[in-house]
Amino acid sequence: MSTAIQAAAPRKSPGNVRAGGVNTNLIHEITRDALRRAALAPTYMDALDITGAALLAAAAVARMGSGRGTA
């Protein structure tokens, strides 16, 4: 694995839940799925909608994991 890839790879902690309680596995799955779907989207606008929805979903997971839970 190259140094650039190692630097970009998330560091794993037990269960991939960070000290703040954020589930990094779920955020990684959301991101990976969104990138796949956006790459195959028929238009750039559809790709932007997909990535925007993924960003909102990842933010919601992070909020729930950090215990703030308020929108």
Q: Where are the domains of the chain?
A: 14-66
Helices (H), 1-71: 3-8, 24-39, 44-66
Radius of gyration over every alpha carbon of the chain, rounded to an integer in angstroms: 14
User: What's the pTM value of the predicted model, to 2 decimals?
Assistant: 0.64
C-alpha span between 65 and 15 (Å, rounded): 13
Q: Hey, what are 30's tokens?
A: 């959301």
Identify whether the C-beta of residue 47 lies closer than 8 Å to the C-beta of residue 41. yes
- Structure confidence by residue, pLDDT tens digits, 6-41: 444 444 444 555 556 788 999 999 999 999 999 999
